[in-house]
Amino acid sequence: MAERPRVLAISSTGGHWIQLLRLAPAFDGVTLHYATTSADFRGHIERIAQNRGQPRPAYHVLTDANRWEKMKLIRQAVEVLLLLLRVRPDVIITTGASVGYFAVRFGRMLGARTCWLDSIANARELSLSGARAGPHADFWLTQWPELARPGGPSYEGQVL
């Protein structure tokens, strides 16, 4: 493909987001879209891109939800689907949690290649969203070698 690949880097805010931002050097040379559940980090991602000489990335804000907030989760799922239809990413990279799950499931249906990087917080077992989303991702990673297994996630290093 002569054109730059479109990459969507997506996660909830907090620890998932901090881990996602540490992947920025892998996004050189792509058309980059970030999506998260807070409007607070636009300046931050623009600074990171500028420091690496990357063009200014797009920034999309999604509804925040946890697994007990059914209505918000449904709204979030719809927002993720609409975002994917608008952006049409070639590649989706996520560190979780529910927004990442929706992005992997819908992304696959829409023909994107998807990567689930399970949070480094999950040192003893995979996250719930990771266990559910991982099997649907093209590239499923854990950050702890002892959790890697054939047919499951593989280990390729940590965000630290």
Partner 1 sequence: MIFLSVGTQAPFDRLVRAVDQWASAHHVPVFGQLGQLAADSYRPAHMEWAEFIPASLYEEKLDACRLMVAHAGMGSIISALTAVKPIIILPRRAALGEHRNEHQLATAEKFVGRPGIHVAMTDADIAPLLDQLAECDNLPADAQALSAEASPELLSAIRRFIIAAS
Q: Contact with partner 1 (CB under 8 A): which of 58, 61, 81, 128?
A: 128
Nearer to partner 1, 111 or 151 (CB): 111
Q: Token digits for 56?
A: 């200014």
Output 81-84 pairs: Cβ under 8 A, ≥24 positions apart: 81/106, 83/8, 83/35, 84/8, 84/110, 84/112
Q: Token digits for 156?
A: 């390729």
Asked if 70 is part of the footprint of partner 1 (rule: CB under 8 A), the reply reads no
Q: Token digits for 24?
A: 């920025």
Measured between alpha carbons, how far is 89 from 129 in angstroms, rounded to an integer?
Answer: 21
Q: Contact with partner 1 (CB under 8 A): which of 35, 77, 93, 103?
A: 93
Q: Contact with partner 1 (CB under 8 A): which of 8, 11, 19, 62?
A: 19
Asked if 74 is part of the footprint of partner 1 (rule: CB under 8 A), the reply reads no
Q: Token digits for 1?
A: 């493909």
User: Which stretch in 6-14, 54-62, 72-80, 98-106 sits in contact with partner 1 by CB under 8 A?
Assistant: 6-14
Asked if 108 is part of the footprint of partner 1 (rule: CB under 8 A), the reply reads no
Q: Contact with partner 1 (CB under 8 A): which of 35, 77, 83, 141?
A: 141
Asked if 156 is part of the footprint of partner 1 (rule: CB under 8 A), the reply reads yes
Measured between alpha carbons, how far is 58 from 42 in angstroms, rounded to an integer?
Answer: 9
Output 1-4 pairs: Cβ under 8 A, ≥24 positions apart: 1/90, 4/29, 4/30, 4/31
Least distance in Å: CB of 108 to partner 1?
12
Measured between alpha carbons, how far is 107 from 125 in angstroms, rounded to an integer?
Answer: 25
Asked if 66 is part of the footprint of partner 1 (rule: CB under 8 A), the reply reads yes
Contact residues for partner 1 (CB under 8 A)? 1, 5, 7, 13-15, 17-19, 22-27, 30, 38, 40-41, 43-44, 48, 66-67, 90-91, 93, 113, 115, 117, 119-125, 127-128, 138-139, 141, 143, 156-160
